[in-house]
Structure 1
Amino acid sequence: MSNPFEDDSRDCLALVNDEEQYSLWPADLTVPQGWRVAHGPASAREIADYIDQTWTDQRPKSLRDAMAGQAGRSPA
């Protein structure tokens, strides 16, 4: 049995979770709990390109939000 994550001929999905982190996922596999489809199905190359263009800040959303909140505070 071949590894579905190593088969570039399969259609894939771009998944995203609540922390706005992305994953390339084989389109014929069940989407894991906590993830949703952001793009696809399409070729693995197209999905990888989509993720590269979309996921430009790889910090989790909760960290970005916390840092934005700290930046907005005045020093005491």
Structure 2
Amino acid sequence: MTNPFEDETAQYLALVNDEGQHSLWPATIPVPPGWRTALGPATRQECLDHIAEVWTDMRPASLAMQMDGAAGR
């Protein structure tokens, strides 16, 4: 059986959660609670490109807000 996250011929979703974290997700698997679709269904590469373009800060949003707020004091 092929890993559903590595099938180049499958359709995927780019997911995002409330913390601004992104994930590649097979379109055939239900979106897990706490996540929403940001792109797709699309090709694996299109989703990976989208994630690389929009997810430039790997910190969870709550941590980024806390750190950036502390730096501004």
TM-score normalised according to structure 2 size: 0.93
For 2:44 and 2:28, the matched residues in 1 are separated by 13
Aligned length: 73
The equivalent of 2:5 in structure 1 is 5
- How is 1:23-34 mapped onto 2 (pairs within 5 angstroms)? 23-34=23-34
For 2:71 and 2:2, the matched residues in 1 are separated by 48
Q: Which has the larger radius of gyration?
A: 1
Which consecutive unaligned segments of at least 5 residues does structure 2 have? none
CA-CA distance at 1:3 after TM superposition: 2.2
Name the aligned partner's letter for residue 30 of structure 1: P
The equivalent of 1:15 in structure 2 is 15
The equivalent of 1:62 in structure 2 is 62
Q: State the percentage of identical aligned residues.
A: 59
Name the aligned partner's letter for residue 21 of structure 1: Q
For 1:61 and 1:5, the matched residues in 2 are separated by 25
CA-CA distance at 1:2 after TM superposition: 2.8
